Amino acid sequence: MRRPVIAGNWKMFKTIPETRAFFSSFLPLVSAVSHCEIVVAPPFTALAAASASVSGARVAISAQDVYWEKEGAFTGEVSIPMLIDVGCTYTIIGHSERRQFFGETDESVNQKVRAALAGQLQPIVCVGETLAERDAGKAADVVRRQVRQGLGRLTESDLSPIIVAYEPVWAIGTGRTATPETAAEMHGEIRRTIGEIWGSKAASEMRILYGGSVKPNNIQELMRREDIDGALVGGASLDPASFAAIVKYL
Ligand code: PGA
């Protein structure tokens, strides 16, 4: 049984007062939820305020990125111990916006994943093809490569804290959700790839989230698919009522 996860990725939105206001509206709406794990990923500057706001609630806090060194002369970067210090239990790694705009590669994703595991931070590893790659018939190849390389050099026992998020780049922030069929097909590819490398037990236990224009009106259909274990939600996670509606997809 894979426990579903609904995660919100705030990207570069919300100040500290906005973060506090979000949680004071959101937490009462989800206080009775026990069917899924809830994760929220605010920007670095709001992580401490977010952790304080969710204290005692069943909501985990995630960073949106991390650097693999513990400390040092790496201007602008934030380390795993620093994230743990402000109450994070998760970090997103390899989001397509990091890959597209900030030079993230499969190799840097792999270094971050390995460091996060060593530092007891749970990675949410993002994969997904661009529209050009899909149109060229390469979607499955690209995602399989991202999984193989991003999770490279890990053993089967390393995999259990990891969550994979399939986020087709053409569906992010565009309002163009992948159909449940397309999403499920790609989730199947990812699960098969994990099975080929680490065996069927690892594949059947891996939680794979879908991301890309998830909204209150499409979550239920996505969650009905056997291989879709939850969602990574961008835009619709910024509003307490819409994110709560997604969390309560049942
Ligand atoms: P979106 O973003 O829901 O706004 O499409 C998803 C994501 O980038 O994680």
Residue nearest atom 3 in ligand 1 by C-alpha distance: 234
Residue nearest atom 7 in ligand 1 by C-alpha distance: 234
pLDDT for the residue numbered 173: 87
Distance of CA 188 to the CA centre of its chain: 18
Ligand 1 pocket, Cβ-based, cut-off 6 angstroms? 9, 167, 172-173, 211-214, 232-236
Residue nearest atom 1 in ligand 1 by C-alpha distance: 234
Q: How far is the CA of 195 from the centre of ligand 1 (A)?
A: 27
Is residue 176 predicted with pLDDT exceeding 90? no
Is residue 193 predicted with pLDDT exceeding 90? yes
**35 labelled catalytic:** no
Give yes or no for a contact between 229 and 190, defined as CB atoms under 8 angstroms apart: no
The model's confidence at residue 33, banded by pLDDT at 50, 70 and 90, is very high
Q: How far is the CA of 73 from the centre of ligand 1 (A)?
A: 32
Question: How far apart are alpha carbons 231 and 5 in whole angstroms?
Answer: 7
Q: Report the residue among 102, 126, 166, 214 best suited for mutation to probe ligand 1: largest number of ligand atoms under 8 A from its CB.
A: 214
Q: How far is the CA of 93 from the centre of ligand 1 (A)?
A: 14
**Tens of pLDDT along 138-162?**
999 999 999 999 999 999 999 999 9
The model's confidence at residue 118, banded by pLDDT at 50, 70 and 90, is very high
> Hey, how many other C-beta atoms are within 10 angstroms of the C-beta on 74?
11
Is residue 1 predicted with pLDDT exceeding 90? no
**Tens of pLDDT along 43-74?**
999 999 999 999 999 999 999 999 999 999 99
Q: What percent of the chain has pLDDT over 70?
A: 100
The 3-class SS string of the chain reads CCCCEEEEECCCCCCHHHHHHHHHHHHHHHCCCCCCEEEEECCHHHHHHHHHHCCCCCEEEEECCCECCCCCCCCCCCEHHHHHHCCCCEEEECCHHHHHHCCCCHHHHHHHHHHHHHCCCEEEEEECCCHHHHHCCCHHHHHHHHHHHHCCCCCHHHCCCCEEEECCHHHCCCCCCCCHHHHHHHHHHHHHHHHHHHCHHHHHHCEEEEECCCCCCCHHHHHCCCCCCEEEECHHHCCHHHHHHHHCCC
**95 labelled catalytic:** yes
73 CB contacts (<8 Å, ≥6 apart)?
none
Question: How far apart are alpha carbons 112 and 20 in whole angstroms?
Answer: 29
Q: How far is the CA of 72 from the centre of ligand 1 (A)?
A: 32
Closest ligand 1 atom to the C-alpha of 126? 9
Residue nearest atom 6 in ligand 1 by C-alpha distance: 234
